Structure 1
Amino acid sequence: MSDSNSTDFINPSTFILLGIPGLEAAHVWISIPFCAIYAIALLGNFTILFIVKTEPSLHVPMYYFLCMLAITDLVLSTSILPKMLSIFWFYSREINFSACLTQMYFILSFFAIDSGILVAMAFDRYVAICDPLRHSTILTNPMVANIGLAVVLRGIILILPYPFLARRLPYCRTNIIPHTYCEHIAVVKLACADIRISSYYSLSMAFLFIGMDVSFIAVSYTQILRAIFRLPTKDARLKTFGTCGSHLCVILAFYIPHLFSALAQRFGHNVALHFHVLMANMYLLVPPMLNPIIYGVRTQQIRDRLLQPLLIKEPKVFSW
């Protein structure tokens, strides 16, 4: 009987997601801010997509990349929040093994796509400021589409080994995941086999996506700042730098929480588990909420289009 149970458990049909370990009694209360984050992310990103679609003046590369970012953020937050809320509200903790690996794949791939889009937006700002006369000839619509396709294919293909490496591992310890979603490390740690291949691949992909993307963004903004400081007047420098303000805020909102979570996971061995889980959720869920707010507040065209229905139109005066 024990041998049979052990054999069945090597490939578990389901995993159990605990939510936030240690804070189970507060799950309902914790769900309120998370639900608000999700609602704001949905409303904000769909609003961005609607405004850009209906406003012809926004049909330029900068806003095409912004739409790509909005779609990616919608998929990323939807990959996490519905299941998390079902755990918090309905105690629906079971998740099918294949569904778990699928969720893992979607989270990792769209996080990588998000990072790639930020690089593409940095390139757009670089061309617009450092070579403005050629901006329309370099970033044509086909070029924007090719960049978007390359970013998506990079995320889809390079993340594909994650679920396959996780599937081939034997799971004979437990099927309980102390997390709100199927995080890669939390899943493979349950395996009763050598996980070095998965760990090394994860480390190399982290270096590729985060390290290289941040490096490309840093190089772009180094050139942008050099071009800005060559401008003759302070007003011109401030106005030009202001065109990068929204993108810089989005970059900081995306990478800083992830860096903080990675450092806490690497060096915070004495930090409570629930803190690690909360941080792992925040760095994935906060940027999709903040991005449309940042662009809505800082971008004049989006702000004007958003406030247009609220403006009181003066009545027409007819002369006889």
Structure 2
Amino acid sequence: MSSVNGSHRQPSVFILIGIPGLEAAHIWISIPFCGMYIMACIGNCIILYIIKTERSLHEPMYYFLSMLAVTDLVLSTSVTPKMLALFWFHSNEIYFDACLIQLFFVHCFFIIESGVILAMAFDRYVAICNPLRHSNVLSNPVVMRIGLLILIRGVLISIPFCFLVKRLPFCSNKVIMFSYCGHGMVAKLACADTFINTVYGGTVSNLVVGFDVTFTVLSYVMILRVIFRLPTWAARMKAFSTCGSHIFVILTFYILALFTSVTHSFGHSIPLYVHVIVSNLYLLVPPIFNPLVYGVKTKQIRSRVLAMIHFNRNK
């Protein structure tokens, strides 16, 4: 009875701790996090500008890269500004509705990014395994429909997270031992049974990521079969070079996701601040590396960036 009387369905605010155990070092921790966020914003905005203005990049691979850049911008921006406000100004309160919005964006755009990576793998599969049909299979209307489908999937899967949290009664403890609102962290504060939340979260994680990873790996298995059948080593290396940047993006995204998931599920002996730092890096590292990798590996993007730097120096 006391648990029920002391609870209410929608607390006005939650309290974000930031990085538990390292509160005294928040100001120092904020410096690399802020630098990473600025780099992610600048890098992805440059990628979007170059793809928009360079007509030779108006093809499926770079349309998907544009989607990836927008996704990275939204994913990092949904968390980092509030986290920096907490570190710099001790603004650790977050309204209940704002917490739900942040929770929605984190989960939604994680799912979207996973979908975009799968779409990019499919693009590389068609380009290498069936190059003569690439323009027909991945025409502009098809690319737009794929992008819309990825967005709708992310939204539809993420909306239930908000409703599952909103239905829960919360006790007097409103302290989230984290630097942002995630479904699992918020559900832990509930006074009621969260079995449905746990099942839905685990199902989404396993099915969505499992589906995307399975078909991404399958695409590259078929790509490698075609590459190893090429007659010359030079032809094989050229084919590998067209996939190298995407493979690096895949590994960065999913290895960090796997490490984050494992530390949360099985790393009970790992200090909580390690969990929080790894989760924050997971939302910041891919948005930094993605534009760097494609900027280095793509000749048109690299040349435009160098031209922009040269122009600004001579201005």
**TM-score where L is the length of structure 2:** 0.96
Instruction: Give the Å deviation of 1:158.
Output: 1.1
Superposition misfits of 4+ residues, deviation over 4 angstroms? 5-10
CA RMSD of aligned residues (A): 1.6
Q: Which residue does the alignment assign to 1:33? A: 32
Q: Which residue of 2 aligns with 1:185?
A: 184
The percentage of counterpart residues that share the same residue type is 56
Structure 2 unaligned blocks of 5 or more: none
What is the alpha-carbon distance in structure 2 between the residues aligned to residue 6 and residue 90 of structure 1? Answer: 34
- Tell whether 2:116 aligns with 1:117: yes
Contact 2:9 2:166 in 1 (8 A): no
Tell me if the contact between 2:7 and 2:172 (Cα under 8 Å) persists in the aligned partners. Answer: no
Residue 8 of structure 1: how far off its partner (Å): 6.4
Partner Cα separation in structure 2 for residue 161 and residue 289 of structure 1: 30
Contact 1:27–1:88 (CA<8 Å) still a contact in 2?
Answer: yes
Name 1:220's counterpart in structure 2.
219
Which residue matches 1:17? 16
What is the Cα deviation at residue 6 of structure 1? 4.6
Q: Does 1:300 align with 2:295?
A: no
Q: Does structure 1 retain, via aligned residues, the 8 Å contact 2:15–2:175? A: yes
Larger radius of gyration: 1
Q: Is the 8 A contact 1:173 1:191 kept in 2?
A: no
Which letter maps to 1:183? G
Q: What is the aligned partner in structure 1 of residue 148 from structure 2?
A: 149
CA distance in 2: counterparts of 1:258 and 1:191, whole angstroms: 26
The alignment of Structure 1 onto Structure 2 pairs a total of residues equal to 311
Aligned to 1:157, what secondary structure does the other structure show? Answer: helix
Aligned amino acid, residue 305 of structure 1 = R
Normalised TM-score (structure 1): 0.94
Given that 2:126 and 2:134 are in contact with CA atoms closer than 8 Å, whether structure 1 keeps it comes out as yes
Residue deviations 1:4-35 (CA, integer Å, cap 9, x gap): x9556442110000100000000000000100
Q: Which letter does structure 2 place at the counterpart of 1:45?
A: N
Question: CA contact under 8 A between 1:101 and 1:163: conserved in structure 2?
Answer: yes
Distance 2:157 2:9 in 1: 27
Alpha-carbon spacing, 1:95–1:309, altered in 2? closer, same or farther (3 Å):
closer
Deviation at 1:286, TM superposition (A): 0.9
1:273 matched to which residue of 2?
272
Deviations 1:247-280 (A, max 9, x none): 0011111110110111111111111010111111
Q: Does structure 2 conserve the Cα–Cα contact (< 8 Å) formed by 1:173 and 1:192?
A: no
Q: Is the contact made by 2:60 and 2:140 (CA closer than 8 Å) also made in structure 1? A: yes
